[in-house]
C-alpha cells in the first residue's frame, strides 16, 4: 500500500474506533503510531515522533492557559456568578415575550466570557433557567433548547478551550484567537435573541409562556453588586489581552487569582472545595494534554502520508472554488458532529485542511473561528450532542426526554448554521478586532 492509502485507512480506523467507544486520544495516538511504523517500516521513528509530540505539548508555554482558564471557570461557577448575571438579565427582559429565553442567552454570553466551557454553561443554566421558564408555562422543548443553544457560546466567546486547542494544532497565537472570537460570539448571541423574538412572534405555540408577574425590582446598587465581580473579571482577562498588558497565560493567572478572591469574599469556597477544584482542574488538564499529544502524532502521520498535499492536488485538479471547499469542510464537520465531540472533529479535520487554507492565502485565525463554529454545531445534533446530554443529565424532570432536548435545540443549530455562513462570507467579522 502507498502512504496515502495507509493514511486514508488510518483516518477511517480512528473514526470507527471512536464510534466503538475507544477513548479518543488512544484511538488517535495508537492508530497514528502504527500507521507511521507501517509507512516507514521503522518502529524507532514512531517512538521518536511520539517523544517529540509529548515534549512539544507539555513544554509549550502557552499550554499553561488551559489549566489556568479551566481553574478560573470552575472557581467562577462555585462563586455563583452565573446565577447573579442571570437574575439581572431576567429583570431586563421580563416584559418581552420569550424574555426569559433572551435573558438566558444574555447571561450565557457573559458567563462564557469567564468560563470558556459549553458544558459548564449547560450544567449551570439548565438548573436555573429551565425551571424558571417551566414555572411561567414555557414549552419544555423551547426551554431546554434555549439552554442547549446558548451553551455553545462558551466555546466561541473567549476564553474558549476549543480556541486554545485549535491554536495548538494550527500553531497560532492564543491571544489572537481569543480576540477573533469576540465578534462572532456576540453575533451568535444577538442572532439567538433575534431568533427567540421571531419564534415568539410567529410560532407562539413552540415558545409558549405567559406574562411574567411584576416582582420586586432590583435597585441600581444591587445590580452593581451582582454584575460588578463578573465585569471586573472580563476587564482583567480580556481587557488585559486586548490592550497587550498581559499575555493569555498571565491573564489566566490574574483571572484565577481574582476568582479565588471573589469566591472567598462571598464565602462560597473553603479549603475542601478549593482542593476539589484543583483536583478537577488537574483531571481536565491531563485529559486535554493527552488529547493534544495524540493529535500531534496524528498531524505528523498525515504529513508523512502526504494526505494534505493529496487533498490539495485533488481539489486543484477538479478546479474546486473557495465556495465548494468551504461546503466540503462544513458538510464534513456536520457529518462528524453526529458521532464525535467538538475537540475530536477539530483534531481530525483541521490538519487535513490547514495546508490548503495556507496555500490559498487565507487567514488561519479566521479559519479557526469557522472550524470551531462548524464543529460546535455538533454539540446540538444527535446522536452525540454533548450539551444536550448534559442538560438531560442535570435536569431532574421526567417530563423532559432527551428527544425533547434535541428537538428544542434544532432551531438554534439552524441559527448557528446561518451565522457560520456569514462568518465564511465576511471574514472581516472574525478579523475586525485584530485590525
String of DSSP letters for 331-388: HHHHHHTTTS-HHHHHHHHHHHHHHHHHHTT--HHHHHHHHHHHHHGGGGSSS--HHH
Distance between CA atoms of residues 306 and 15, nearest Å = 19
Q: Which residue has the cell 437574575?
A: 87
Q: Specify if 202 maps to a domain.
A: yes
On whether residue 279 sits in a domain, the answer given is yes
225-254 residue pLDDT tens: 788 888 888 888 888 888 888 888 898 899
How far is Cα 179 from Cα 91, in angstroms, rounded to an integer?
A: 30
Separation between Cα atoms, residue 105 and residue 150, nearest integer Å:
5
Domain assignment present for residue 122? The answer is yes
pLDDT, position 7 = 77
> In Å, how far are 77, 141, 146, 149, 413 from 410, measured between CA atoms?
27, 10, 10, 8, 5
Q: Half-sphere exposure of residue 43, counting CA atoms within 13 Å on the CB side?
A: 1
159: nearest Cα among 64, 276, 24, 55: 64
Q: What is the CA radius of gyration of the chain?
A: 22
Residue 119 lies in a domain: yes
pLDDT in tens, the chain (435 residues): 677 777 778 878 877 887 777 777 888 888 888 888 888 888 888 888 888 877 776 677 777 788 888 888 888 878 877 778 878 887 777 777 778 888 889 888 888 877 777 777 777 788 788 888 888 888 889 988 998 888 888 888 888 888 888 888 888 888 889 889 989 999 999 999 999 999 988 888 888 866 666 556 777 777 787 888 888 888 888 888 888 888 888 988 998 999 899 888 888 888 888 898 899 888 878 877 887 788 778 878 877 887 777 777 777 777 777 888 888 888 888 877 776 777 778 887 888 888 888 888 889 999 999 999 998 887 787 766 767 777 887 777 777 888 888 888 899 999 999 999 999 999 999 888 876
- For residue 435, being part of any structural domain is answered with no
Whole-number pLDDT of residue 215: 59
Distance separating alpha carbons of residues 70 and 285, to the nearest angstrom: 8
Total of domains in the chain: 1
Rounded Cα distance, 393 and 391, in Å? 5
Does residue 15 lie within any of the structural domains?
A: yes
Residue 191, pLDDT score? 95
Q: What is the sign of the dihedral through the CA atoms of 300, 3, 11 and 329?
A: positive
Domain span holding position 65: 3-430
C-alpha span between 54 and 76 (Å, rounded)? 31
pLDDT recorded at residue 214 = 55
| Predicted pLDDT of residue 1 | 67
Amino acid at each position: 500500500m502507498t502512504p496515502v492509502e495507509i493514511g486514508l485507512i488510518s483516518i477511517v480506523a480512528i473514526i470507527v474506533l471512536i464510534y466503538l467507544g475507544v477513548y479518543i486520544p488512544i484511538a488517535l495516538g495508537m492508530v497514528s503510531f502504527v500507521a507511521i511504523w507501517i509507512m516507514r517500516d521503522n518502529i524507532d521513528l514512531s517512538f521518536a515522533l511520539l517523544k517529540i509530540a509529548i515534549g512539544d505539548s507539555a513544554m509549550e508555554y502557552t499550554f499553561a492557559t488551559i489549566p489556568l482558564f479551566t481553574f478560573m471557570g470552575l472557581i467562577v461557577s462555585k462563586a455563583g456568578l452565573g446565577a447573579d448575571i442571570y437574575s439581572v438579565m431576567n429583570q431586563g427582559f421580563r416584559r418581552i415575550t420569550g424574555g426569559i429565553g433572551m435573558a438566558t442567552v444574555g447571561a450565557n454570553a457573559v458567563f462564557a466570557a469567564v468560563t470558556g466551557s459549553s458544558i459548564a454553561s449547560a450544567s449551570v443554566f439548565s438548573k436555573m433557567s429551565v425551571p424558571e421558564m417551566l414555572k411561567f408555562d414555557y414549552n419544555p422543548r423551547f426551554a431546554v433548547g434555549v439552554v442547549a443553544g446558548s451553551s455553545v457560546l462558551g466555546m466561541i466567546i473567549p476564553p474558549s478551550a476549543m480556541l486554545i486547542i485549535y491554536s495548538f494544532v494550527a500553531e497560532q497565537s492564543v491571544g489572537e484567537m481569543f480576540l477573533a472570537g469576540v465578534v462572532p460570539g456576540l453575533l451568535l448571541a444577538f442572532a439567538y435573541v433575534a431568533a427567540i423574538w421571531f419564534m415568539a412572534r410567529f410560532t407562539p405555540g413552540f415558545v409558549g409562556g405567559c406574562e411574567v408577574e411584576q416582582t420586586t425590582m432590583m435597585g441600581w446598587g444591587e445590580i452593581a453588586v451582582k454584575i460588578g465581580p463578573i465585569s471586573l473579571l472580563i476587564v482583567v482577562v480580556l481587557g488585559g489581552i486586548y490592550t497587550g498588558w498581559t499575555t493569555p497565560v498571565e491573564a489566566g493567572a490574574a483571572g484565577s487569582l481574582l476568582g479565588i478572591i471573589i469566591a472567598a469574599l462571598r464565602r462560597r469556597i473553603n479549603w475542601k472545595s478549593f482542593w476539589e477544584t484543583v483536583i478537577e482542574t488537574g483531571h481536565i488538564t491531563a485529559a486535554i494534554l493527552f488529547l493534544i499529544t495524540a493529535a500531534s502524532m496524528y498531524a505528523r502521520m498525515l504529513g508523512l502520508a502526504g494526505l494534505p498535499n493529496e487533498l490539495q492536488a485533488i481539489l486543484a485538479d477538479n478546479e474546486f472554488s473557495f465556495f465548494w471547499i468551504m461546503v466540503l469542510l462544513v458538510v464534513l464537520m456536520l457529518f462528524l458532529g453526529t458521532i464525535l465531540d467538538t475537540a475530536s472533529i477539530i483534531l481530525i479535520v483541521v490538519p487535513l485542511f490547514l495546508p490548503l487554507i495556507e496555500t490559498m492565502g487565507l487567514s488561519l485565525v479566521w479559519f479557526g473561528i469557522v472550524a470551531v463554529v462548524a464543529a460546535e454545531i455538533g454539540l446540538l445534533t444527535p446522536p452525540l450532542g454533548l450539551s444536550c446530554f448534559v442538560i438531560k443529565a442535570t435536569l431532574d424532570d421526567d417530563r423532559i426526554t432527551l428527544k425533547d432536548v434535541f428537538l428544542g435545540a434544532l432551531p438554534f443549530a439552524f441559527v448557528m448554521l446561518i451565522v457560520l455562513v456569514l462568518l465564511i462570507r465576511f471574514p472581516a467579522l472574525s478579523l475586525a478586532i485584530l485590525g
